Chain A
Amino acid sequence: MMLDVAWWIIGVGLAFDLLGCVGLIRLPDVYNRAQAATKCVTLGTCMLLLGVAFVGFSGTSVPMGIKALICAAFVLLTSPVGAHAICRGAYLSGVKLWPESVEDAFGPRADQIQQQPTQKGAADREETKAP
């Protein structure tokens, strides 16, 4: 019974993984691809790990279940942060939005960031170069 529930959860997670990767192929620009793929694959992998945790707690091996839950927490914390960082880097490096995009909420803030003239690191390097 527990095993059936676990395999159903794993099956739904696999479907999410596959659909996220189809979105990575089909969508038009970086930002769309990043949001589709990241959300779907994060949820799918978390469901795979949850299914493994069910199998582990139902008698195979309790440490395996605990590790699966820890790993699910890590994936849930790190994957959206990584995708956000990449999208921010993509915008600041000048990748254009899809022409049919409706709203560009990060635009004014990006201009503000790019107009800041110096960075702390560059200033430090200038100081060390001076003498």
Chain B
Amino acid sequence: MSCLELIAFAVLLLSAVLCLYRIGRGPTAPDRAVSIDILGTLIVGFCCIMALATGRDYYMNIAIAWALISFVATLALAKYLEGRSYDA
């Protein structure tokens, strides 16, 4: 693992810590939902830097699956926040 990849991991970890701060601190529930969405997108970035660092391409499969599943989770949270019925 080269120096550049370590720097990339450090920057992504710093971003993830900022997201975690907002999840813990956020005054309302939508703040936390937005932060969780952003954290999911950051994890996709982690997966692609992992693919670069190790040279194995199955990390990209994980990134694709994570992007889609985090989208479904975000939509479920959003419908829950609306406070109305799920099928309206």
Contact = CB atoms under 8 A, between A and B. Distances in A.
Interface residues of B, number: 52
Contacts of B4: 7
B55 A17 contact: no
A13 B52 CA distance: 15
Contacts of B38: 20-21, 24, 37-38, 41
Interface in B17-57: 18-19, 21-22, 28-31, 33-35, 37-38, 41-42, 44-45, 48-49, 51-52, 55, 57
Contact of A83 (B16, B34, B49, B57): B34
Contacts of A71: 44, 48, 60, 63-64, 67
A34 B61 CA distance: 27
A interface majority secondary structure:
helix
Contact of A45 (B44, B60, B87): B44
A55 B14 CA distance: 24
A119 B12 CA distance: 43
Q: In the A-B complex, list the 9 residue pairs whose CB atoms are closest, starting with the nearest.
A: A89-B81, A119-B88, A90-B30, A85-B78, A67-B60, A82-B74, A64-B57, A78-B71, A121-B85
7 contacts: A49-B44, A49-B45, A68-B51, A85-B79, A86-B74, A86-B78, A89-B81
